[in-house]
Structure 1
Amino acid sequence: MDFSNKNVLITGASRGIGKATALAFAEKGAMVGLNFRSNVTDAEKTLAELTGEGHQLFQKDISKKENTKQLVDDFITAYGRLDILVNNAGISIFHEVDKVDFDHWTHAWEDTFKTNLFAAANLSYWAAKAMMKTGGGRIVNVSSRGSFRGEPTKPAYGASKAALNAMSQSLAKKLAPHNIYIGVVAPGFTETEMAAETLTPVERENLLRESPFKRMAQPKEVAHAVLFLASEGAEYCSGTIIDVNGASYLRS
């Protein structure tokens, strides 16, 4: 896969899957814009690791709808056009219905959907408008295994990712005539910094048992699927959802 002369915007790019995706695109020749909300230290570290020159950081809280247009505008001002958008940013909040009060419950739903769904929808809107003017492009959305199997301790997370899948497939139909192609990658639990920080030893062991590989996905494995969907020749895969979960959850 060659992404020379392609301009790529990745949300949630300071670490984890977003970082691995940025590294992979840069290695293949792309010019990469890394969006992040607040973690300046990690964002600068990621920027420093990218192959090549000209990559930039774009600090914006995309859960605020006005920032989504500004992010796309700033990116196009910097690079001239947007070829590929990767909607990777996401949050996950525990809110077990039998354990939390109503305020916690409602805030978890509102905050999760603002980042996981509404931000992706709004960025897709502005990206599509820009891509229509330049002859087309690619949008790849990062979903989750939880969109299919359910998330009992984080139902808003599972619901937001299921909605992201449906939105992606709707846009795939609508935007194909404009040469804009939409793909989705649905990872299982991935070996990220967040996993290392939040998982207890028991939780980690239980997760490892879910896959016949007896391990979690590596961020670069998820990034590989993102790059495939964004690549030349993958156009007829528009609307596809690729599972990257090590056969831990199989769907027909």
Structure 2
Amino acid sequence: MTAQRVAIVSGGSRGIGKAVATTLGARGFAVVVGYAAQQASADEVVASITAHGGRALAVRADVAEEKDVVQLFDTAELEFGGVDVVVNAAGRMYLAPVAELDLEELDAMHRTNIRGTFVMAREAARRVRPGGTIVNFSTSQVVLQFPTYAAYAASKGAVEAMTLSLARDLRGRDVTANAVAPGATATDMFLDGKSEELVERLAKQPPLERLGQPEDIAEVVAFLASPAGHWVNGQVVRANGGMA
């Protein structure tokens, strides 16, 4: 009997991370839903997965804290027997022109997006089983370069560089590492503070003329996490409807 594959999804309580967790759960993965503060939302994701016959649990973890991340992986191994897929969907976004940038916001964003991804990736590199994968999250703003996105895009550019080196660090392990770079996606984080007019204008920019949905991105992650996607390694997949 083939052992059940196990996925850890940081930022799994909302937005794209929630969609990833539920999609992987539906594909037969046991899922550890990592969350920082949204316990009720994380519990809802777990309930959704288990209601459909899956296995899941929620674990609180600050991805930038080494001890939290170690506990996250320890729990996955104790409860489900190992780790096959790690999805680093936890993220923070702060938008401002460079001249008006709040450096405390910059530090907080980089702590989650850069340090948090690195801490998660480091633990994943130590523990993911052969045949597994690590998926980090970038943003298509690294190449689109819209105004006010400088600091956020810079943090995600670091994630892309980290991911490409990580794939090569894992030589001989049969573990892949890729980054997914969404474009405009209809999540609370993206929609917050934007007018309906601005959202409509952004939705018209891709050739497909709509915003991405969290499920669109989750399907890309599910492919990378599957045996069918295992030959994709050391890549940045720009899932943005054709914007760049």
* TM-score with structure 2 setting the length: 0.92
Aligned-residue CA RMSD in angstroms? Answer: 1.8
- Stretch moving more, 79-88 or 53-62: 53-62
CA contact (8 A) 2:64 2:119 kept: no
Counterpart of 1:54, as a letter, is: R
CA contact (8 A) 1:151 1:157 kept: no
**Structure 1 residues 205 and 57, CA gap change in structure 2 (3 angstroms):** same
Equivalent-residue separation in structure 2 for 1:4 and 1:173 (angstroms): 27
Structure 1 match to 2:88: 87
Structure 2 match to 1:128: 125
Spell out structure 1 runs of 4+ moving beyond 4 A.
Answer: none
Structure 1 match to 2:143: 148
Structure 2 match to 1:119: 116
**Structure 1 residues 198 and 49, CA gap change in structure 2 (3 angstroms):** farther
- 2:187 pairs with 1:192: yes
Give how far 1:183 is off: 1.5
Equivalent-residue separation in structure 1 for 2:23 and 2:3 (angstroms): 12
Match of 1:159 among 131, 154, 157: 154
1:75-128 CA deviation, whole Å, 9 max, x = no partner?
22222211100011100012322234xxx2x21221111111111111111111
| SS across alignment from 1:122 | helix
Counterpart of 1:108, as a letter, is: E
Equivalent-residue separation in structure 1 for 2:233 and 2:176 (angstroms): 5
Structure 1 match to 2:40: 41
- 2:240 pairs with 1:245: yes
Equivalent-residue separation in structure 2 for 1:78 and 1:198 (angstroms): 40
Structure 2 match to 1:172: 167
Structure 1 match to 2:79: 78
Match of 2:198 among 200, 203, 209: 203
Match of 1:229 among 194, 211, 224: 224
- Stretch moving more, 19-28 or 195-204: 195-204
* TM-score with structure 1 setting the length: 0.89
CA contact (8 A) 1:173 1:239 kept: yes
